[in-house]
């Protein structure tokens, strides 16, 4: 039990503990959220709980790009207005949210759900690389944009993907270096992302 919850009830302590396990939520933030929910109307707390349960029960991975979706194909893969000849490779579903918010890229995506990291025990078979290669076999794709994060793991993954894709005679590009090393896409601002997409280069 931490110093912020010694005088709280067991149920309050439990909620503080669970909230503090979320990314970016420390003990103080978890405590503030808990006491906010205690003061909130019952309906608001109930709707939050139902939303959490619903997202766990109803969401799945898109059978096309492995984004998060409520149906077999996500809205992007279902769209007839997207450029089917371009695939942008990202590490996580939230990276798609960042790129879509910019509104420049109009192709498809492929979510790896991670990056190659030998130190973390993540190898090439642990992320969605094989599924990507299957998508590229139909000959419809003319450009693959590698948008992995500019971290050591992201760069390792990008280099590995380039070696796999280059023999397929598909153009391989990388987001421009407007993104500082160590930047994760979901935290990059819109202007930086716009320049990175528009200025992408042969890789």
CATH topology of domain 81-202: Dna Topoisomerase Vi A Subunit; Chain: A, domain 2 (3.40.1360)
Retrieve residue 135's tokens.
Answer: 């998508």
pLDDT given at position 3: 47
- Residue among 164, 168, 188 at smallest CA distance from 178: 188
The pLDDT assigned to 100 comes to 93
Superfamily covering domain 10-58 = RecR Domain 1 (1.10.8.420)
> Cα–Cα distance between 199 and 64 in angstroms, integer?
27
Full-model pTM: 0.75
Distances (CA, A) of 87 to 44, 55, 82: 40, 26, 10
pLDDT in the model for residue 9: 83
Over residues 152-157, the mean pLDDT reads 92
CATH 1.10.8.420 residue ranges of the chain are 10-58
Residue range(s) in the chain whose domain bears CATH number 3.40.1360.10: 81-202
> What residues pair up with 88 in beta bridges, in sequence order?
109, 145
Which of the residue ranges 6-10, 42-46, 121-125 would you say has the lowest mean pLDDT?
A: 6-10
Condensed to tens digits (0 to 9), the pLDDT of residues 23-61 reads 989 999 999 999 999 999 999 999 999 999 998 999 999
């Amino acid at each position: 039990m931490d110093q912020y919850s010694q005088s709280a009830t067991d149920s309050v302590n439990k909620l503080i503990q669970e909230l503090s396990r979320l990314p970016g939520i420390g003990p103080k933030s978890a405590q503030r959220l808990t006491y906010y929910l205690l003061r909130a109307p019952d309906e608001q707390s109930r709707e939050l709980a139902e939303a959490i349960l619903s997202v766990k029960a109803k969401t799945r991975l898109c059978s096309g790009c492995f984004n998060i979706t409520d149906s077999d194909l996500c809205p992007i893969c279902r769209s007839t207005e997207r450029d089917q000849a371009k695939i942008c490779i990202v590490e996580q579903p939230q990276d798609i949210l960042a790129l879509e918010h910019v509104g420049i890229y109009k192709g498809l995506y492929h979510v790896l759900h991670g990056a190659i990291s030998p130190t973390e025990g993540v190898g090439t078979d642990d992320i969605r690389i094989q599924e990507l290669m299957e998508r590229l076999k139909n000959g419809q794709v003319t450009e693959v944009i590698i948008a992995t994060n500019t971290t050591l793991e992201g760069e390792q993954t990008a280099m590995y993907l380039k070696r796999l894709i280059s023999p397929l005679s598909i153009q391989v590009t990388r987001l421009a270096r407007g993104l500082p090393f160590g930047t994760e896409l979901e935290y990059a601002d819109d202007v930086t992302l716009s320049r990175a997409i528009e200025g992408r280069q042969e890789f």
